[in-house]
A = this chain, B = another copy of it.
């Protein structure tokens, strides 16, 4: 079930600690103790986060080594990238609109400043006459 799988992935990613764990694992595999170090939380709390990540298929844990290293599994992230990629044109459109708006602002500013310069020049020349 693709839909539910994607929901599980999004749920797993909806937590800053879990995202930080993935960032750490992007550098290479790590034990639970190593993963817990930078966070001010208990080992059971980390284990709970790892369970959520593992259920979503975002990490795997070796059954061989005694320290059971965790490893990043990127396939669900690719699904996220594909899902969100379908909306790319919407944020590109809003940038285009912002870009147009900024260009209009600049044009208006330039026109205003040209008018103001012309006025100053006129005032000057009137004063000099």
Contact = CB atoms under 8 A, between A and B. Distances in A.
Interface string A52-85: 0000000000000000000010110110110111
B16 A7 contact: yes
A22 interface: yes
Given A77-B90, A85-B81, A90-B72, A4 B26 contact: no
Nearest to A7: B14
A14 B11 contact: yes
13 contacts: A3-B16, A10-B11, A11-B11, A11-B14, A72-B90, A74-B91, A74-B93, A74-B94, A77-B90, A77-B91, A78-B91, A81-B81, A81-B91
